[in-house]
């Protein structure tokens, strides 16, 4: 079955850039949209952005100025870069498949901590 796996550094310095990758396996990569969603420890979910296999993207207005999502169809991967990070960006970051208006498959999540 389709599986998503996040990867990236667990620790990022303040004002630095958070970079995350999501690898998709076990199913088709094309024909879907792919999202990044985050969750600060003990808090709720916040959608960050989505991208299609062809590169069409959309962002949460509150993060649009700092976030960049990209896709590499040759590797069945998509990525997130979030710049100028602060402690408020410390969160579990999940990648998920956005299919027909719902996030139907999620990765296990990766914790990114912003600290010096």
Q: Report the nearest approach of other proteins to the CB of residue 58 (Å).
A: 6
38 near other proteins (CB under 8 A): no
Q: Judging by beta carbons within 10 Å of its beta carbon (0-12, 13-18, 19+), is residue 1 exposed, middle or buried?
A: exposed
Going by the DSSP 8-state scheme, the letter that residue 19 receives in this structure is E
Pair 81, 68: CB distance under 8 Å: yes
Q: Is residue 10 at the binding interface for other proteins, with CB under 8 A as the rule?
A: no
Query: Does residue 5 bind other proteins (CB under 8 A)?
Result: no
72 and 16 Cβ atoms separated by less than 8 Å: no
Judged by CB under 8 A, the residue of 15, 26, 45, 54 near other proteins is 45
Nearer to other proteins, 15 or 25 (CB): 25
Q: What is the DSSP letter of 87?
A: G
- The CB-side HSE value for 64 (13 A sphere, CA atoms) comes to 6
Contacting residue, 25, 54, 70, 108, with other proteins by CB under 8 A: 108
Per rule CB under 8 A, is residue 109 in the interface with other proteins? yes
Using CB under 8 A as the binding rule, whether residue 34 contacts other proteins is answered as: no
């Amino acid at each position: 079955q389709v599986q998503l796996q996040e990867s990236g550094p667990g620790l990022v310095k303040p004002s630095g850039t958070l970079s995350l990758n999501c690898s998709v396996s076990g199913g088709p990569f094309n024909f879907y949209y792919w999202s990044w969603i985050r969750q600060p420890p003990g808090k709720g979910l916040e959608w960050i952005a989505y991208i299609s296999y062809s590169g069409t993207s959309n962002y949460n207005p509150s993060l649009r100025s700092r976030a960049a999502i990209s896709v590499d169809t040759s590797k069945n991967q998509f990525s997130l870069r979030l710049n100028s990070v602060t402690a408020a960006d410390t969160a579990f970051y999940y990648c998920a498949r956005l299919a027909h208006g719902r996030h139907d498959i999620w990765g296990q999540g990766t914790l990114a901590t912003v600290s010096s």
